[in-house]
Structure 1
Amino acid sequence: MGWDVSHGTNATGTISRSYTAMSTLGSHLAHVLPAPDWCQIARLFRRGGNGDPFTVTPVDAARMARAFRKGSQHRHMPDDWAELALLLADAADRAAEAGEPWRWS
């Protein structure tokens, strides 16, 4: 089981990752981001893996994209996790630019 995040670039228009992968990404981001940036995205990672779908407003998605991008560029972020953070930043930006909710299901 895992998350399918909208506005991705695969054939179904999502980013699909396991709950474990997303939790691990959250741990890496929590360690590299300053508190104000972490606070922008922390709620995405505090859902406890319950799998209940949720949406993020376009305005919040734009803010979250900046935090994901900043985390992806940090010198202490491992490359494979930086890649996932950048994918999420791009998806959040696409949702924000389209004025659509960013859906996690």
Structure 2
Amino acid sequence: MTTCVITSHGGDFFGNDRHLTKLLTGLADYARGCLPADEREPLVKLLAAQQQTEVGTEQTIPAADAGQFAAQLRRIARHRYLRSTKLAEAATLLANAADRAAADGQPWTWRTEAA
């Protein structure tokens, strides 16, 4: 079964973005290589955990954390060793959504669904 994550504060008509969990796991691998060791763990855990999360599970990230994740995701998207345009686009979309959540002072939510 293929699963995806629906994030709030996204760019579609309903204010959501949809990302395959497989893509997020790949993004977690790049985060391990692109970000300093003392900064990356919370983001890596968030991205990698989606592969094992049950369908229907919702997770909320506080606005302050969303702002930090946005900066880290932008660094990953712009990293010179990130060769995949799909991963760079996913990182940028996630960063934009995290920025919007932080700017609104609202929690950023992630919901796992079957694709």
Say yes or no: TM over 0.5: yes
Contact 1:19/1:49 (8 A) holds in 2: no
Overall identity of the aligned pairs, in %: 30
Which of 66, 87, 97 is the aligned partner of 2:71? Answer: 66
Q: CA deviation at 1:5?
A: 0.7
Q: Secondary structure at the match of 2:87?
A: helix
Q: Which amino acid aligns with 1:5?
A: T
Alpha-carbon shift at residue 84 of structure 1 (Å) = 1.0
TM-score under structure 2 length normalisation? 0.83
Report the TM-score, using the length of structure 1 for normalisation: 0.90
SS in 1 for 2:41: helix
Contact 1:6 1:15 in 2 (8 A): yes
2:24 maps to 22
Any idea what SS the aligned residue of 2:60 has? strand
Equivalent residue, structure 1, for 2:59: 54
SS of the residue 2:27 aligns to = helix
Q: 5+ unaligned residues in a row in structure 2: which ranges? A: none
Paired amino acid for 2:53? N
RMSD, aligned α-carbons: 1.4
1:16 maps to a residue whose letter is R
Deviation of the 1:40 alpha carbon: 4.0
